[in-house]
Structure formats: C-alpha cells, structure tokens
Amino acid sequence: MELNLLTFLYLIASITFIVGLKMLSHPATARNGNRVAAIGMTLAILGTIFLYEEDGARLGNYVWIFGGILIGTITGTLAAKRVKMTAMPEMVSLFNGMGGACAALISLVEFDHLAHMDPMMAGVLLMSAGGASAVKGFLLIIVLGLIIGSVSFAGSIIAWGKLNGSIKDFSFKGQHIFNILLLAVIVVLAVYLIVFLPANAVLIFYTIFFLSLLYGIFFVFPIGGADMPVVISLLNSFTGVAAACGGFLYDNKVMLTGGILVGAAGTLLTILMCKAMNRSLTNVLIGSFGGSSVGVSSAGAVGTHKEISLSDTAVLMSYASKVYIVPGYGLAVAQAQHACHELEKLLTSKGVDVKYAIHPVAGRMPGHMNVLLAEADVSYEKLLEMEQANEEFSTTDVVLILGANDVVNPAAKSDPASPIYGMPILDVELAKHVIVNKRSMKPGYAGIENELFFRPKTSMLFGDAKKVLQDLVAEIKNL
C-alpha cells in the first residue's frame, strides 16, 4: 500500500514537472509554473523520505536528512533573495554546477558500493537474471553519470567565474585538438572499464573522474564573447542527463522524469541558441568558438561618433510614430527595467507605438532580457523576437538601444575576421534614427568595436541607463 502511494506521489510529481515546464513558456504563467513544479518536487522528496523501503527497512537518518535540507533551504533562499538581476546568469551557472556535482557524487557513492560489495552478494548478483550483463549495464549508468555530471560541474563553475569576471578567457594553440583527445581518452577508458571489468577498476574509475573534471574546465575556458548563453544552456542539459542517470540507478521514476525533462529542454534550447548565433553544435561541444578572437577590433569600425542631447532625444521620441527599444546587458547593470517601462508607458500615452526588440542571446543567459522586462510588468505582447523586429525596423522612426552592443553590431554581417561574424543581429540601422545609450565607447562583451556607432543615422546618448531614462521621462513630461 505504501509502495503504491509512493508510486502515485511520483506520478503526481512527474505531472507537475511537465505542467510547470509548459507554464514557463509564457511570462504571465512562469511564476506559477515554478510553484507547481516546486510542489511536485516537495511531494517527491517527502514521499521518498517517509515511504521508501528497501528490504523492509526505511531510510532513517532523519536528523542528517533534514539537517541537509535545512542548510540547503536557508542557503538557497538567502542567495536567491540577495542576488541582483545582473548576477542572475552566474547564479544559474552556479546552481546548475551544484546539480552536476550531485549527479557525480551519486555515481561515486554507487561505484564505491559496487567495488566493496560482499563477495557472496556479488556472486548472487552475477548468478541472477542478466548476470554480468546486468552488472555492466549498472556500471555503464554509473560511468555516464560520473562523466556528464563532472563535466557539467567543472564547466559550470568556470562559466560562473567568467560571468562574474573572476576568470578570464583562456586558450592555447591546439586546444581544440587537446579537447578532442582528452574526450577520446575518457571514452576509451570508460569502455575498457565497462567491458573488461579489470582488476584496477577503481584506479581507472577515478582517473575518468579526474579527466572529466579537466575536460569540463578546458571545454568552457576558451568560450567567450556573446557565446556564453549557448554554453549555459548546454551545461544545463548535461545536468539533466546526469540526473536522469541517477534515476536509472535508483529506479526512481520522478528523478528520471525530471532529468529527462531538463536534459531535453536544455538540448532544444541549445539548438535554438546555436541557430540564433549561427554556430555549429559540434563547435560548441569542442569549445572552438568565441574566445580565440576576443579583443580583435572590427575592421572598418573607425570614424567619429556624434552625440545627442536629452532634450533632442525627448523631442525625437515624442513625435515619432513607432519606437523600438533594444535592451541589453547595460540595462541589467543599471537595473533600469522599471524606468524603461515608465518611458514606454509615457510614450504610449502620447500615441507612440512602442515595442521591444529582443535578441535571443542579449544579456548573459537565454531569456535574460525577457526576465528583466517581465519583472517590470512589461506586456509580453510588446516583446518581439529578432525575426519579427527585423521586419519592422524599416518602418520605425526611432530605435533606442540600451546597453546592447554585439547583438546590433553590423560586423556580424560585413567583417569575416570578426569573432561574431555570421551571428544574426538586430537590423537597427534600417530605422530612420538610432540612439545608443552607453556609459562610454568601450567595446561590448565580445571585445570588439561596433561600427554602428559611427554610422550617419546613429547618435550616442552617454550615461547610466537608469538615470538617462529617468531624465528622459522628465524631459518628455515637460514638452
């Protein structure tokens, strides 16, 4: 009866995961989607703690279990409440890394159980249905969880460091070949361990563990520029697959379902990000884009920029028919999303058609700008994806760019030597007027100059995005 109840709870939890994931597809329901999935996870955890039995014995160790849950809950709550929106990408990377670490630890613990199994029990297992094949299958799942979880953990920690600026892009000549060879060695050792079950299996297993951590580090090290959202998405899918391996090991349906959902969603998002960046998924896997060209100036990005005053900007936007706002990382740094929404509402009240052009990889993680604007209660209907926005720019009077750089850089189309060449961009230069708000002329995240800033239609409006927008709102009200 208790087993049936636990199975029922797992089924309910799995359904909440699917429903929650579906609700995350729209900003209006995303918050409740998180709550629904969290309720399901809570049911699964409590059900496992109090209802799971093995050989007639319950889990026990409730002090240790709930002690760990309490520490994790307090730590997670404080971190989530204190984190700034600008730091959200690195927090996502850090939490994702913890998920990968958990999956790797599961594999380490289960391999230790397997390696130190009582000889009599091992003999019974080998004589049972499946025999050696069953042992090898079990070992396969352990090794897969170890490799994928370790790569996800190490890679996510490097991504976290790069996003917060404590770790710089690093590469060396022949690193792509080194990465491929390192991965090949890991695969060969894993196959040898699983197929032959050698006497030195423990040494080989921990060698695989160490090399997987090393691969995770060198996999992410060279990646930079505007490519980081792709990496975060890919590492997220790795963690999901590693968690699914844990579900296989423990025959835990809800863990398996959750892992598959995360893995599948992360993989699909990675593919979409690669398409948005015009990059090959194969290149992502061997870490061969983004970092090597950082710091290279875009050819042709020379000339003199012109500035525009707040009063001229206010007049230009107030008497426009259609205005597009392009949010970028500068908006997030200044925490200017609420001021931006206030400007949008003010212009709309004056009869101006205001919308937002969202590039898929604007910011530091997938959906970063959508999250920021949703926090300010910007209507989802006003957020246009890149393809839609590009069709509208030719009939747009003013485009206001707030801290975005690489996603509007024409070098992606015109300069084959540029590290962002081939990346689809927002065609803002098709508009009648382009106003760029930046703190300075410093290059963006990819480290290259933006020739858009020197184009005849472009004017620079320097200053902190939040203050500039607040002053702009005041200026428009005084017209």
Where along the chain do its domains lie?
Answer: 1-82, 86-292, 310-477
Q: Is 278 helix (H, G, I), strand (E, B) or coil?
A: coil
The pLDDT-based confidence of 164 (bands split at 50, 70, 90) is confident
The pLDDT-based confidence of 156 (bands split at 50, 70, 90) is very high
Give CA–CA dist 462/402, Å, rounded. 10
Backbone angles phi, psi at 433, to 5 degrees: -135, 140
Give CA–CA dist 408/410, Å, rounded. 6
Q: At what angle do helices 131-163 and 228-250 cross, to 10 degrees?
A: 150
pLDDT of 460 higher than 90: yes
pLDDT at 454: 93
pLDDT of 438 higher than 60: yes
Higher local confidence (pLDDT), 294 or 465: 465
Catalytic residue among 406, 415, 427, 464: 406
Range in 247-256, 289-298, 365-374, 428-437 the model is least confident about: 289-298
Using one digit for the tens of pLDDT, what is the confidence trace for 280-309?
777 655 544 444 444 444 444 457 889 999
- What is the share, in percent, of the chain residues with pLDDT greater than 90? 54
User: What is the Cβ-side half-sphere exposure of residue 468, based on CA atoms within 13 angstroms?
Assistant: 26
The pLDDT-based confidence of 90 (bands split at 50, 70, 90) is confident
Q: For residue 127, what are the contacts with CB-CB under 8 A and spacing of at least 6?
A: none
310-477: CATH topology: Rossmann fold (3.40.50)
User: Which amino acid belongs to residue 360?
Assistant: P
112 in active site: no
pLDDT at 297: 46
Using one digit for the tens of pLDDT, what is the confidence trace for 33-54?
999 999 999 999 999 999 888 7
Using one digit for the tens of pLDDT, what is the confidence trace for 193-214?
999 888 899 999 999 999 999 9
Torsion of CA 315, 319, 323, 326, to 10 degrees: 0
pLDDT at 292: 42
Please give the full DSSP string across 327-382, using - where no structure is assigned. E-HHHHHHT-HHHHHHHHHHHHHTT-EEEEEE-TT-SSSTTHHHHHHHHTT--GGG
Backbone angles phi, psi at 2, to 5 degrees: -65, -35
Give CA–CA dist 238/243, Å, rounded. 9
pLDDT at 226: 57
Give CA–CA dist 144/104, Å, rounded. 9
pLDDT at 285: 59
Query: What average pLDDT score do residues 87-94 get?
Result: 85
Residue owning tokens 């797992």: 10
Query: What average pLDDT score do residues 4-10 get?
Result: 90
Q: Are strands 57-58 and 53-54 parallel, antiparallel or unpaired?
A: antiparallel
Element (H, E) at 111: helix 88-115
Q: What's the CA angle centered on 197, arms 132 and 252, to 5 degrees?
A: 60
CA distances from 201 to 131, 149, 268 (A): 18, 20, 36
The pLDDT-based confidence of 132 (bands split at 50, 70, 90) is low
